[in-house]
Structure 1
């Protein structure tokens, strides 16, 4: 069974990220590099991670006209990353252009996923700020997931609450990458739609993106291992019988 945890390296520079990762020597966990760290350090830090056998999810959430996204993804595909994402709200043409950019770069192993709605988005934000009033948040997310699948993408970023429905709509092999994971008793921080590792396993999450619960832990490696064990125990007891 694949390791389900992606550690979000939410650090302001490479020095702090490297100090944190030193505690994981010999394990090389899957890590996420987001906007803050990538914009501060650029491709050189991605190269450092790959030389040390870390798998890398580059979380930049591209969202622009198709031509721009195609050209950007062609460059990112040359970094040997394992996963990268776009915003599904950019539409089918943009998502297909992103996929074509990776193919043009020869990055056939790189998983391309789409952000459906951010886990900070609520029903109120959806209707009052984004002016998407004729549908529920869950239906909007499922619709975006279907568009991503139709565009040839490998999966989506979604909340745990939406993962099962996405599996039913898009198939069990369509990846669900879920942020907003908090071990019981943890601070929710700025995310509205959260879940525990156990809930993630039961509800169909393939990967859990976890940052502060691990990176700010007194014992990060122990916390990391505990989360994996909790997910695996729950996953093994769940047969996902409702999946299409």
Structure 2
């Protein structure tokens, strides 16, 4: 895979107009993430623009509800023709299976390719201490994320979102066909922000990540295009 195709840039902006401005600043980016903030403000309008510009789309809405509701949401989302779609692994096995079936149904209804359904194992903003003391989960963080990923795989999902620090373990346990999408990726020259578990882009790819979600080091840079090119060059040198 071309290094440029491995990087997903988030459209983490509050409005449709801001999203268009960011798209125009980074015309070479091929894969964009649309999350809760932008989708809530602009709806499917931004997805239509991305499709018209022949961009790939990661619809990161992190569905979490009872199985029937999650299935309905996934069925509707699949009709947009997006490439990746997220749901929380904590939906449980029934919810994950329902989601996997629903995206096929939704895509068939509109004649588009079904999205890859990716499970959120654990938000990268959550530390080991928070997992134990705030969420009261008795497992160690690496063990917990592995259990979530294995459940997602056995339920028919295509991959998982995980910290790059857990990518190597998940790759070894879940196999080469299981997609790993890693946020919390920060170049050495960038600030970590609110991410607790980070790797550099080359470290993340070396650990088994298929896709890297890299936002503020690019979008908040004084010159976003130069920052994008710098990361692409780092990945090219690694490859």
Q: Give the TM-score normalised by the residue count of structure 1.
A: 0.92
CA separation in 2, counterparts of 1:113 and 1:24?
26
Q: Unmatched 5+ residue regions in structure 2?
A: none
CA separation in 1, counterparts of 2:206 and 2:174?
18
Give 1:37's aligned residue: 38
Moved over 4 A (4+): none
1:180 and 2:184 are equivalent in the alignment: yes
- Quick one: structure 1 residues 28 and 230, their matched pair in 2 at CA, closer, same or farther if it must change by over 3 Å? closer
1:127 and 2:128 are equivalent in the alignment: no
Q: Give the TM-score normalised by the residue count of structure 2.
A: 0.94
1:28 offset after TM fit, Å? 4.7
1:154 offset after TM fit, Å? 0.8
SS of equivalent residue, structure 1 residue 105: helix
Give 2:231's aligned residue: 227
Give 2:71's aligned residue: 70
| 1:41-93 CA-partner distances (Å, limit 9, x unpaired) | 00111111111111110100001000000111111111111110000011111
SS of equivalent residue, structure 1 residue 64: coil
CA RMSD of aligned residues (A): 1.2
| 1:138-193 CA-partner distances (Å, limit 9, x unpaired) | 01001110001101111100001100100111001211100011111311111100
Give 1:197's aligned residue: 201
CA separation in 1, counterparts of 2:189 and 2:25?
24
| 1:195-226 CA-partner distances (Å, limit 9, x unpaired) | 11121121111100011111111121121122
CA separation in 1, counterparts of 2:202 and 2:154?
30
Indicate if the aligned counterparts of 1:145 and 1:155 stay in contact, CA closer than 8 A: yes
1:232 offset after TM fit, Å? 3.2
Give 1:154's aligned residue: 158
1:121 offset after TM fit, Å? 1.0
Indicate if the aligned counterparts of 1:4 and 1:228 stay in contact, CA closer than 8 A: no
